Amino acid sequence: MSKNLLLTIAVIGGTGKEGKGLAYRWAQAGYHIIIGSRTADRAKAAAEELNQLLGADIVQGMDNGAAAQAADMLVLTVPYSAHASTLEMLKDAAQGKILVDVTVPLVPPKVTKVQMPKAGSAAQEAQSILGENVHVVSAFQNISHEHLMSDEPIDCDVLVTGKGKAARLEVLKLVEAAGMRGVDAGVLENSVVAEGLTSLLIYINKQHGVKSSGIRITGIQW
């Protein structure tokens, strides 16, 4: 999939740590990356930071609306507090596309406690807002940004759930391109498990004094 040089990915909310980490990995793999932010200036500053790390002028920065319009696929990496409002803004530009929702419904200050929204999960909430013509796929919630911004192999699996197997397969390609092993975990309703795991991992990190615990799925012949 790293040969698919024409695919353009907009990382919406890409000025944050998780968004920049994913953008960095995908840019290294040959994808055309657009960083999106509420303001174009912040997006361009984050893109310049990544371009310096990459040693090439290959990442662009735009405001969220322009980034979404220009992209083939959208990746949403905003805090949960901005989740619904950002999705409403993206609704028109997202039609007919895959939207990868990385959002976790963390509710500060109790981020080590699983607290899911009424819709069941953030990803299900996204599907409800965007409508049936958008393929929402949930992934990457359990990967620490410390892993993403390093150039080392990542010893974590990524659970991929979402609407339609074809959409999940496309996102599994992005998982591999980012240097991880992806697991097709079924329908979008299953996203509640991956999202909830994030609070567990934050708790485990605190208990063991680490920053980047993750998950592995065992018993599969790869």
Report pLDDT for 222: 81
Tell me the C-alpha distance between 213 and 83, whole Å.
25
Q: Which residue has the tokens 């393929």?
A: 135
Residue 152 contacts residue 180 (beta carbons within 8 Å): no
Q: Is the pLDDT of residue 82 over 70?
A: yes
Report pLDDT for 146: 83
Neighbouring CB atoms inside 10 A of 209's CB total 6
pLDDT digit string (tens) for 182-208?
Answer: 999 999 999 999 999 999 999 999 999
Report pLDDT for 219: 94
- Give me the CATH code for the 8-208 domain, please: 3.40.50.720
Report pLDDT for 1: 38
Q: How far is CA 172 from the centre of its chain?
A: 12
Report pLDDT for 6: 62
pLDDT digit string (tens) for 15-28?
Answer: 999 999 999 999 99
Q: How confident is the model at residue 221 (pLDDT cuts 50, 70, 90)?
A: confident
pLDDT digit string (tens) for 139-160?
Answer: 999 998 888 988 888 889 999 9
The strand pairing partners of 11, in sequence order, are 35, 75
